[in-house]
Amino acid sequence: MTKKIAAFILALCVALSLSTTFNTYADNGNISDQDYARQLMQIGVFKGTDRGFELDRAPTRLEGLIMLIRLLGKTEEANQATWQASGFNDVPEWARTTVNYARAVGLTNGISNTKFGASLVLSYQDYATFLLRALQFDAQSSWQTAPQDLIRLTNVESDDVPDGQFLRGDVARLSYIILLSKNSSGEQLLNKLVRENAIDKKAADAMIRLQLPDQPEISKDAQPIKQNSNDKTSQTVNKKSENTTTKKSDNDFFNKDTQTKSPQKNNSNSLEAKLFDLVNAERLKHDLQPLKHANAETTSYAAVRANEIGKKFSHIRPNGENSLSFFNNIECGENIASGFSTAEEVLAAWLKSPGHRANILNPDFHYIAIGVESKKWVQLFYKPAQ
């Protein structure tokens, strides 16, 4: 891919809570940088000019610095008029307060004592450095290694980076992916900005409540989460499921010793078995341990979920419960999809979505259950209770 990611983030899983990771819908492709720019505009992270988004124009150093400040959640702080003058004489009047802030807190030293280089072209290497700084990976990266580190430390993949001139469209695309990436503390950046009130929860929700019609869909997934919230509408829950399934206690039901036999179908040609093998093949490419089959009860629940998403394509079950309320106080996640005919197609689409990919390649997950029914696909991941 160049200049676009084949997975389109379309909708949020549920009403947002401070303890959750943002979840995503994605389609099977056809997202443009214009789409990313529009989504980021919803939360005030990316803005256009009087000529529109100008996605085919090279960004300037000043524009890159402003994006960094927005991704750090420091826009309001930067707009205060109390910062010492930067001493740069090439900054436009409208941006002087912002640049004064950036120099005062050490975000920039300019290109000389009197020049910031506001109108100079921003390079991809510079912006990769900014993005890693937004994720607080300063100690694990440098300007010299930033392009490689961006792929190593975040959800950005090699296909996501520009293959030619670095443009504002690339800024929009990469910034969106970074918002769904985890920072050095293990917290998703978008979640952090909402928690710190730098981005309004409703605005973040609206940002990804877009849907393309008549497309195969990869539903909103939950990135690695630990269930510790009492918010029923959240992907993170601390409430036993009230469905008819009878479960053992956490330490019994999710103990490794109960999971040694595979309850998946033995038919090697089954879609579930095929997807299981493809997932583990992908994990092995990234030097990750293969996932084990979940126990029979979790596998049965995955089949139930595949049926349910045919009725309601959501991480909220038709009875109003959160889909992950099946699990109790363990790290878990769910990927769902609709409209894909083969295991290869659905996995390829999931892997192109940063959130879904994070589930599949989560080194903390040990087990997977897969359900498939009438082109409805479900993956349930979890880590056993300690």
- Single out the residue of 241, 219, 182 nearest to residue 10, CA to CA: 219
Determine the 3-state secondary structure of 87 from DSSP. coil
Is the pLDDT reported for residue 160 higher than 90?
A: no
Task: Report the predicted TM-score, pTM, of the whole model to 2 decimal places.
Answer: 0.54
Burial state string for 353-372 with b = 16 or more CB within 10 A and e = fewer than 16? bbbbbbbbbbeebbbbbbbb
Across 347-376, average pLDDT:
92
Cβ atoms 355, 9 nearer than 8 A: yes
Give the end-to-end CA distance of the chain in Å, rounded to a whole number.
Answer: 40
- Number of DSSP helices (H) and strands (E) in the chain, helices first: 14, 7
Confidence class of residue 80 from pLDDT cuts 50, 70 and 90? confident
Across 317-332, average pLDDT:
84
Listed range (195-209, 226-240, 296-310) with the worst mean pLDDT: 226-240
Residue 158 confidence (pLDDT):
81
Strand duo 292-293 + 367-373: pairing = parallel
Q: How far apart are CA 282 and CA 157, in angstroms?
A: 14
Token pair listed for 136? 């607080």
Residue 219 confidence (pLDDT):
56
Q: Please give the backbone phi and psi of residue 39, each rounded to the nearest 5 degrees, phi first.
A: -65, -45
Of the segments 210-219, 245-254, 277-286, 319-328, which one has the largest average pLDDT value?
Answer: 277-286
Cβ atoms 382, 258 nearer than 8 A: no
Residue 330 confidence (pLDDT):
84
Is the pLDDT reported for residue 31 higher than 80?
A: no
Across 172-195, average pLDDT:
90
Cβ atoms 340, 313 nearer than 8 A: no
Q: What average pLDDT does the chain have? A: 78
Determine the 3-state secondary structure of 349 from DSSP. helix
The residue assigned the tokens 């100079």 is 120
Is the pLDDT reported for residue 12 higher than 70?
A: no
Confidence class of residue 157 from pLDDT cuts 50, 70 and 90? confident
- Single out the residue of 73, 183, 179 nearest to residue 136, CA to CA: 183
Q: How far apart are CA 185 and CA 188, in angstroms?
A: 9
- More confidently predicted of 235 and 82: 82
Q: What is the pLDDT of residues 254-274, one digit of tens each?
A: 333 333 333 344 443 499 999
Confidence class of residue 216 from pLDDT cuts 50, 70 and 90? low
Q: What is the pLDDT of residues 49-73, one digit of tens each?
A: 878 899 999 999 999 999 999 999 9
Which residues make beta-bridge pairs with 316? 322
Token pair listed for 195? 């928690």
How remote is the C-alpha of 128 from its chain's centroid?
A: 17
Across 80-101, average pLDDT:
92
Percent share of the chain, pLDDT over 90: 48
Which residues make beta-bridge pairs with 336? 378
Token pair listed for 183? 């920072």
